[in-house]
A and B are shown apart, each in its own frame.
Chain A
Amino acid sequence: MVRTALDYKGKLKPTWCPGCGDFGVLTALFNAFARLDLDPNNIAIVSGIGCSSRLPGFASTYGVHSLHGRALPIGQGVKLANPEVEVVVVGGDGDAFAIGGGHFPHAARRNIDLTYIVMNNRIYGLTKGQVAPTSDVNFRTVSSPYGNFEEPINPVAFAISVGATFAARGFSGKVDQLTDLIVAAITHRGFAFLEVISPCVTFNKVHTYKYFQEKVTPLPAEYQPDDRTKAIEMAQVMQDVIYTGIFYRQEKLTYHDWISKIMEGVRPVTPKELVLSQK
Chain B
Amino acid sequence: MDQVRKTVVLEGSRGVAEAVRLCRPNVIAAYPITPQTHIVENLSQMVADGLLKAENIRVESEHSAASAVLGASAAGARAYTATTSQGFLLMLEVLYNMAGLRLPVVLTAVNRGISAPLTIHNDIQDSLAARDTGFVQLYAEDNQEALDMHIQAFKIAEDHRVLLPVLIGMDGFILTHSFEPVSLPTQEEVDEFLPPYKPVFYLTPKAPLTMGTKTDPEFYTEARYMLHKAQQNARQVIVEVAQEFKEKFGRFSGDLIDTYLTEDAEIIFVSMGSLVSNLRAIAQELRQEGKKVGVLKIRAFRPFPFEEIVRAISGAKIVIVMEKDISLGATGVLAQEIRAAFYGKANVPRLSGFVVGLGGRDVTRETVLKGLRLAQESDHLCTFLDLNPELLEEV
Contact = CB atoms under 8 A, between A and B. Distances in A.
A143 B60 contact: no
A189 interface: no
A131 interface: yes
B48 interface: yes
A127 B37 CA distance: 8
Interface stretch (B12-20, B38-46, B130-138, B140-148): B38-46
B44 A144 contact: yes
Contact of B60 (A49, A101, A128): A101
B61 interface: yes
Interface string A126-142: 11101101000000001
Interface in B125-176: none
Contact of A146 (B33, B48, B118): B48
Given A99-B61, A143-B44, A130 B86 contact: no
B312 interface: no
B304 interface: no
B372 interface: no
A99 B44 CA distance: 20
Given A130-B37, A144-B58, A146-B48, A68 B86 contact: yes
Interface in A82-138: 97-99, 101, 124, 126-128, 130-131, 133
A127 B58 contact: no
Contacts of B40: 143
A99 B89 CA distance: 13
Could you say which interface size class chain A belongs to?
20 to 34
Contact of B34 (A69, A98, A127, A142): A127
Interface string A14-49: 000000000000000000000000000000000001
Contact of A143 (B34, B58, B62, B115): B58
Contacts of A101: 60
B385 interface: no
Contacts of A68: 86
A67 B44 contact: no
B40 to A, nearest CB: 7
A91 to B, nearest CB: 14
B41 A143 contact: yes
A56 to B, nearest CB: 12
B88 interface: no
Contacts of B34: 126-128
A128 B45 CA distance: 16
B129 to A, nearest CB: 15
B32 A145 contact: no
B92 interface: no
A114 B45 CA distance: 41
Nearest to A124: B32
B93 to A, nearest CB: 14
A65 B37 contact: no
Given A142-B44, A145-B45, A127 B60 contact: no
B60 A133 contact: yes
A246 B315 CA distance: 75
Contact of A128 (B37, B44, B62): B37
Contacts of B58: 130-131, 143-144, 150
Contacts of A97: 60
A265 B45 CA distance: 61
A127 B33 contact: yes
Given A144-B44, A146-B48, A99 B60 contact: yes
Interface string B1-40: 0000000000000000000000000000001111001001
Contact of A99 (B31, B47, B48, B115): B31
A68 B34 CA distance: 12
A94 to B, nearest CB: 9
Contacts of B86: 49, 67-68
Nearest 10 interchain pairs by C-beta: A145-B48, A99-B61, A98-B60, A146-B48, A127-B32, A130-B32, A142-B41, A145-B45, A143-B44, A143-B58
Given A69-B61, A98-B60, A146-B47, 16 more contacts: A67-B115, A68-B86, A99-B31, A99-B60, A101-B60, A124-B32, A127-B32, A127-B34, A127-B37, A128-B34, A130-B32, A130-B37, A142-B45, A143-B37, A143-B44, A150-B58
23 contacts: A49-B86, A49-B118, A67-B86, A68-B86, A97-B60, A98-B60, A98-B61, A99-B61, A101-B60, A124-B32, A127-B32, A127-B33, A128-B34, A130-B58, A131-B58, A133-B60, A142-B45, A143-B41, A145-B44, A145-B47, A145-B48, A146-B44, A150-B58
